[in-house]
Amino acid sequence: MSQLRVLYPKVIDTLEEILQQYDLEMERAHLCAKLFAKASLDGVASHGLNRFPSFIKLIQQGYIDVEATPERILNIGNFERWDGNLGPGNLNAHFCMNQAIKLAKKHGMGCVALRNTNHWMRGGNYGWQAVEEGCIGLCFTNTKPNMPAWGSDESRLGNNPVVIAIPREKGPVVLDMAMTQFSYGKMQSYNRQDKDLPFEGGFDDKGRLTRHPRQILNSELPLPIGLWKGAGLSLMMDIVASTLSDGRATHQIGKQEEEYAISQFFFCMYPPKLDVFMANVDDIIQDLKNSSIMRGQEVRYPGEGTLNRRRQNLAQGVPVDEEIWQEIIDL
C-alpha cells in the first residue's frame, strides 16, 4: 500500500469532525481524535488510524456508547473502582489514567480498576500520559481469548497488553507489549509478504512451533512470550483486572459475539525527588546503551525511537496508508 503524509492537526480535525457526526460531544470528540492521531504520530498506526474505521463500526453496531462516561462505584483510600459504562475505550482509559495520576500526586500512588470498558487502542498513550505528569505508570487490559494456555491447543487466555512507563528527562522509557510474541497484525503483514517470522511465533495445527505466519493464523495459536511464563503472566493480569474492577474476565468476554465490556487496571506512582529519580534512570539507560552489539546497530530501550519519530512526523505529516485515509474520509 502506498503511504500519504497528513499534517497532525489536519488528522485530528478530520477525525474530530467524523466523531461529532457520530454524536460525540465536542471536547470528547477532540480528545478521542487526538488519541487516535497520536498513535499514528508516534509510529503505531496499527493501533491508531488503521483502527479508526472499525472503531466507528463498533459505534454503529451499538457496542460503544458515545455518550457514556465513567462512573465511580467504589473508593478505598487511593484505590478506586470505576465502571466504563461501555463508553469509548480510549476516552475511558485516558480518564482512568488521569484519575490514577491525580491519586498519585495526592497520596504518592494511585490505583484505578475499570470495568465495562472497550478496547483502549494504543496502550502506550496512557504510559506517555503518566510520564508527562512525572509519574511512573503501569496499566494493563484483558482481551477476548486469543492465546493458548501452555500445553493447550485452544485459545482461552488473552494477549493482555501491558504498559510500563518511566519518566526520564532525555526521553521516557515506555514499554508497551502484548503477551504474544508477535501480534496478529504483525503476522498478517509477514503473511502478505510471504515471509517467515524472524523467530518462532506460534504453533501449527499439529502443535509444533513454527515461524510460518499462515500456519499460526490458521491454527489461531500464537506463542505466549517465554512459553509457559507469558501464559502465566497473562492469566495473572486477567485475574487482577477483572476481579479488582468486578468486571468481566477473558472467559466471559469470549462468550460474547464481540470484544466489549473488558476490564483494565491503571496504577501510578509519583516518585519523591523526581530530578534525582530521573538521573538514576538515566544512569541505568546509559549503561544499557553501552552494551556491546551482537545483532543490529545498537541496543535500544523501550520507547527509544518514539520522540524522534514524533518530531519527524510532526514536521512532515503523519504517515497513513492511502486506502485507510480514503476509508476514513468516506466515513
Q: Kindly list the catalytic residues.
A: 47
152 is a contact residue toward a copy of itself (CB under 8 A): yes
Rg value, the chain, Cα:
20
Out of 12, 35, 197, 233, the residue judged to bind a copy of itself by CB under 8 A: 233
Out of 1, 294, 329, 330, the residue judged to bind a copy of itself by CB under 8 A: 294
Cβ of residue 176: shortest distance to a copy of itself, in angstroms? 9
Cβ of residue 305: shortest distance to a copy of itself, in angstroms? 13
In the bound state with a copy of itself, the residue whose beta carbon lies nearer, of 286 and 326, is 286
- Here's the x/- map for a copy of itself, 299-318, by CB under 8 A: it reads as xxxx----------------
**∠ CA(94), CA(138), CA(45), 5° rounding?**
55
Q: Which three cell numbers stand for residue 88?
A: 469509548
Q: Give 86's DSSP letter.
A: T
Q: Which three cell numbers stand for residue 307?
A: 520522540
Instruction: State how far the Cα of 99 lies from the Cα of 85, in Å rounded to an integer.
Output: 16
Cβ of residue 257: shortest distance to a copy of itself, in angstroms? 18
Count CB atoms within 10 A of the CB of residue 282. 15
- Applying CB under 8 A, the span of 40-48, 49-57, 291-299, 314-322 interacting with a copy of itself comes to 291-299
Cβ of residue 127: shortest distance to a copy of itself, in angstroms? 11
202-203 vs 209-210, strand pairing mode: antiparallel
In the bound state with a copy of itself, the residue whose beta carbon lies nearer, of 14 and 159, is 159
Out of 15, 56, 135, 235, the residue judged to bind a copy of itself by CB under 8 A: 235
Q: Which residues contact 25 (CB under 8 A, 6 or more apart)?
A: 67
In the range 91-150, which residues lie near a copy of itself by CB under 8 A? 107-109, 111, 136, 148-150
Task: Confirm if 301 and 175 have CB atoms less than 8 A apart.
Answer: no
Q: Give 16's DSSP letter.
A: H
Number of residues located near a copy of itself, criterion CB under 8 A? 72
- Here's the x/- map for a copy of itself, 271-290, by CB under 8 A: it reads as xx---xx--xx-xx--xx-x
3-state secondary structure of 111: strand
Q: Which helix (H) or strand (E) holds 267?
A: strand 262-269
- The DSSP bridge partners found for residue 147 are 157
Q: Which residues contact 36 (CB under 8 A, 6 or more apart)?
A: 15, 48, 49, 51, 52, 55, 90, 121
46 is a contact residue toward a copy of itself (CB under 8 A): no
Task: Confirm if 50 and 324 have CB atoms less than 8 A apart.
Answer: yes
- Applying CB under 8 A, the span of 53-61, 91-99, 227-235, 322-330 interacting with a copy of itself comes to 227-235
Out of 66, 112, 164, 328, the residue judged to bind a copy of itself by CB under 8 A: 164
154 is a contact residue toward a copy of itself (CB under 8 A): yes
Out of 4, 20, 79, 85, the residue judged to bind a copy of itself by CB under 8 A: 79
Q: Which three cell numbers stand for residue 289?
A: 546503551
Single-letter amino acid code for the residue at 262? I
In the range 175-194, which residues lie near a copy of itself by CB under 8 A? 175, 177, 181
- Applying CB under 8 A, the span of 7-15, 48-56, 88-96, 243-251 interacting with a copy of itself comes to 243-251
Out of 101, 157, 262, 324, the residue judged to bind a copy of itself by CB under 8 A: 157
Cβ of residue 258: shortest distance to a copy of itself, in angstroms? 19
Whose CA is closest to 131, among 317, 309, 318, 306? 306
